[in-house]
Amino acid sequence: MQFLADLKRTHYAGDLRAEHIGQEVVLFGWTHARRDHGGVFFVDLRDRSGLAQITFDPTVSADAAAVGDRLSREFVFGVRGKVVARESKNPNLATGEVEVVAEQAVLFNPAAVPPFHIRDDIDTNEDLRLKYRFLDLRRAPLQQALMTRSKVNQIVRNYLTDNGFIEFETPILTKATPEGARDYLVPSRVHPGQFYALPQSPQLFKQLFMVAGYDRYFQICRCFRDEDLRADRQPEFTQIDIEMSFIVPEDVFGIIEGLLKGVFEQVRGVQIPTPFLRMSYAEAMGRYGSDKPDLRFGLELQDVSDLVASSGFSVFAETVAGGGQVKAVVLPGGGLSRGRIDKLTQVVKTYGAKGLAYATADAEGAWTSPIAKFFSAEDQAALSQRLGMAAGDQALFVADKPGVVAAALGALRQTLAREQGLIDPNALAFCWVTEFPSFEWDEKEQRWFAMHHPFTSPRPEDVPLMDTDPGQVKARAYDVVLNGYELGGGSIRIHDAKVQQKMFDLLGMSAEESRQKFGFLLDALAFGTPPHGGIALGMDRLIMLLIGGDNIRDVIAFPKTTSASCMMTEAPSPVSKQQLDEVHITLKGE
């Protein structure tokens, strides 16, 4: 009987249990560890399901033992044998009640000594693990992340298909877009000097599916943005992309809530309550200093601008007089040392704050604080009361422009919560953030930019404001947020060619320019476009949050480093002169 041809795998190693005792099994896998006692010896066979202990006993099979004797770390082998109960059980192993006594074995392939230990609790530098990603991927945590990812793909497809969505593909080689993220460009060989771009998202294509009448579209698609990386951002990432016709935002919310409910139930076995909390952008920024608020803890931002406007503390008074804000976060129980506050001051400074004022209240609301001398006893009591401070509570203040106050205190809030252990690791705090401004003013370029994208519909009642006060226009846009991460975002789109043209005008795009860049869209809007809208969810972030991780590299099989390189393939890399010639490119300085 030959392995592979006659002897097929009967089980995965990690699935063996007491119920299999007495059965003959065939296992294939890698040598995880080996414990040799001179006579009988043990080899842990590892496959994608886990480990099983193989016992090689020369008195059972000398041939099998001879094969087993050659096994070293990561050698690939197969074994046939009987499952037996162990003499001494291992409660730390899922298969710890049983072992397989080898009767026949085959060495398929030896292995070089791996550059790092292939173990679950590895502490090796990530760059080395990325260089040998195929070894890192043998580890259970990564295998589980990728298998979870596969499962989510299937749940999403089933759910959306069951709800009448149709899955389509859209081009990867497409047209460069003037707004938004930096494009990855692909030179054209056939058209010298011209370029395709990789899609930042299939935005316009999915809208055109609506124009074409397909009504409900989805795609699990790769998107590309040539911007700097973060722990939750890769240059190529995967979106669950959705678009629907004849809808209002609530329809999108319902579909997404049902989708996420199903995913968390089937993957984590938890019930998440729906509908999710809805919160305006203004409220999110005001209370949490973020458009993606982490609602797993309190520490809300509180405005004291009116109470300090006429105080003797000129930093606060002048900030308010200049149109700024003074806001505070209160840490119940306080106890932050001077050294801790210095560290937190560094945190807020990275967001542009000039400093961090602080005060500890007593039972009467009187302060112990370097700035206490600037406030009367009445002022101190009034501020303590406004902030709801009990004895010993510590307030941390930032005074600045609203944007700086929000960013600084928002980050401070997050840092404090983490350091003080205020976050329940099992909590899942979903919410929708709505009513985003349509436009933000760019000081440097002295023009309006679309906060979401230029195809986002303003609220109908705000359309006239586009002419008079663009900063006040609210968009029919929405983000779904989980634990402080933006899980996805979308909007109701413009389906009126006149409004779309108005949008391009406002963004400073001439008629010729808009026609050249988006002529096909303007054409489409003229040919019977239904009201429509949609959303895209970040698949990588979703998986990361599902497994309780904090870095999307851990849920991507072959991720890139923060400098957008692949340590394994060494991409990007130089190309030959001939390849450059074919696409009509001359390198600078050559």
Partner RNA sequence: GGAGUCGUAGUUCAGUCGGUUAGAACGCCGGCCUGUCAAGCCGGAGGCCGCGGGUUCAAGUCCCGUCGACUCCGCCA
Backbone angles phi, psi at 316, to 5 degrees: -70, -50
Site for RNA in 241-280 (CB under 7 A): none
Residue 289 CB, shortest distance to RNA, in Å, is: 12
Least separation in angstroms between residue 568's CB and RNA is: 11
Q: Is 343 in the site for RNA (CB under 7 A)?
A: no
Options 2, 22, 59, 269; binder of RNA; rule CB under 7 A: 59
The number of beta carbons lying within 10 Å of the beta carbon of residue 377 is 12
Q: How far apart are CA 252 and CA 476, in angstroms?
A: 12
> Minimum distance between the CB of residue 285 and RNA, rounded to whole angstroms?
13
Number of Cβ within 10 Å of residue 325's Cβ equals 23
138 binds RNA (CB under 7 A): no
Q: Which of residues 293-322 bind RNA (CB under 7 A)?
A: none
The kind and range of the H/E element at 46 are: strand 41-47
Three-state DSSP state, 338: helix
**245 beta partners:** 532
Q: How far is the CB of 36 from RNA (least distance, A)?
A: 4
Q: Fill in the amino acid letter for 408.
A: A
Q: For residue 130, what is the DSSP state?
A: H
Contact 44, 52 (CB under 8 A): yes
3-state secondary structure of 488: strand
Task: Verify binding: residue 411, RNA, rule CB under 7 A.
Answer: yes
Nearer to RNA, 231 or 377 (CB): 231
Decide the pairing of beta strands 98-109 and 50-56: parallel
Give the whole-angstrom CA distance, residue 108 versus residue 29: 9
Cβ 180 to RNA shortest distance, Å = 3
476 belongs to the binding site for RNA (CB under 7 A): no
φ and ψ at residue 331, rounded to 5 degrees = -95, 110
Determine if the peptide bond prior to 572 is cis (ω within 30°). yes
Verify binding: residue 384, RNA, rule CB under 7 A: no
Q: Provide, rounded to whole angstroms, the least separation between the CB of residue 366 and RNA.
A: 36
Q: How far is the CB of 582 from RNA (least distance, A)?
A: 27
Residue 119's SS3 state is coil
Q: Which stretch binds RNA (CB under 7 A): 2-10, 118-126, 246-254, 300-308?
A: 118-126
Instruction: Name which of 316 and 439 has its Cβ closer to RNA.
Output: 439
Tokens of 124: 């090796």
User: Is 428 near RNA (CB under 7 A)?
Assistant: no
**Counting contacts by CB under 7 A, is residue 38 touching RNA?**
yes
Distance CA 319, CA 412 (A): 20
Does residue 437 interact with RNA by CB under 7 A? no
Taking CB under 7 A as the rule, which mask of x and - marks residues 210-229 in contact with RNA? Answer: ---------------x-xxx
181 belongs to the binding site for RNA (CB under 7 A): yes
Q: Is 449 a residue that touches RNA (CB under 7 A)?
A: yes
Indicate which single residue of 7, 21, 94, 180 sits in contact with RNA (rule: CB under 7 A).
180
386 lies in the binding site for RNA (CB under 7 A): no
Least distance to RNA, CB of residue 474, Å: 14
**Conformational region of residue 50, where left means phi above 0, alpha means psi within -120 to 50, and beta covers everything else:** left
Q: Work out the number of other CB atoms within 10 angstroms of the CB of residue 577.
A: 11
Number of residues near RNA (by CB under 7 A) = 71
Helix (H, G, I), strand (E, B) or coil at 360: strand
Q: Are 408 and 398 in contact (CB under 8 A)?
A: yes
Q: Is 53 in the site for RNA (CB under 7 A)?
A: yes
Residue numbers 512-531 binding RNA by CB under 7 A: none
State yes or no: residue 89 binds RNA (CB under 7 A). yes
CB of 401 to RNA, least distance (A): 13
Q: Pick one of 4, 18, 24, 39: the residue that binds RNA (CB under 7 A).
A: 39
Residue 92 is a binding residue for RNA (CB under 7 A): yes
**234 or 369: CB nearest RNA:** 234
Is 485 one of the binding residues for RNA (CB under 7 A)? no
Secondary structure of residue 526 in the 3-state scheme: helix
Helix H or strand E segment including 142: helix 140-162
Considering the rule CB under 7 A, would residue 551 count as an interface residue with RNA? yes
